[in-house]
Structure formats: C-alpha cells, structure tokens
Amino acid sequence: MPPAAARFEIATLPERNDEGVPGPTDYVALIAAIRPQGPDNAIIANQPRIGEAAAVPEAFLRAWLSEAEKDALQRAAAPGGTAYNIRALTSQAAKRAIAVPLNAGEWVLYIEYVAP
C-alpha cells in the first residue's frame, strides 16, 4: 500500500558537482520521511529492533529533513536509541536499512545500498 505521505532522495557520497571527471562513489543511500497507512505501520514496528546502529553519515542528514527527522536519525545510533531493521522489507539488496519512529505513524528511513 503506498504511504499517505512521503519525501525521499537517493543520495551519493561524495556528491557529484558535475565538474571534471567524477570520482568513485563511496555511498549510495535512500533517505526518506514517510507516513504509512493501513497496516504498514505495524509491519515496520514488527521488524527486529536494532540494539546499536552505526551512525548515519552526517552528509545524509539532508537539508530538506526537519530538525526532528535529523534528530531521529542521529538518535538511532545512540545507546538506547530506537530503530528497526527493515532489510527484509527492501526490494533491492541493502547493506543496511533502518526505520526510526518519529511520532504516531511517521518514520524516517535510511537505506544504504553501497558503502565502504
């Protein structure tokens, strides 16, 4: 079921500036803020919790994310942070896929496809 609302970006690091020959891409990740509908909230919340997640690279805390969304991604890596392993829900093989709850029915996602 499609989410009721979603904002997302597929980002790479280092970022391309279209000047000269592009260098190697170290990271490719999807960053999203979503509000699922129907049973999808429960599907995410029923995934395994992550005890301690590796920090999301700071460059992926995109300008379009709200402060609450950025804080949620940073808290996911902190001791006692709440994050769910959603790799089983991804359609493409992901190195790491986390969902962090914001408030009732809203989530921030970080899905890492390429990483060093």
Q: Residue ranges of the domains in the chain?
A: 5-114
- Given a cut of 70, whether residue 23 has pLDDT beyond it is no
d(CA 115, CA 3): 27
Report the pLDDT value the prediction gives residue 22, as an integer from 0 to 100.
63
d(CA 84, CA 109): 10
Report the pLDDT value the prediction gives residue 15, as an integer from 0 to 100.
63
Q: What are the tens digits of pLDDT across the range 34-92? A: 999 888 999 999 999 987 767 888 889 999 999 999 999 988 878 888 899 999 999 88
Residue keyed to tokens 């992901």: 94
Q: What is the dihedral of CA 38, 44, 47, 51, to 10 degrees?
A: -150
Report the pLDDT value the prediction gives residue 12, as an integer from 0 to 100.
84
Angle, CA of 102, 15 and 83, to the nearest 5°: 20
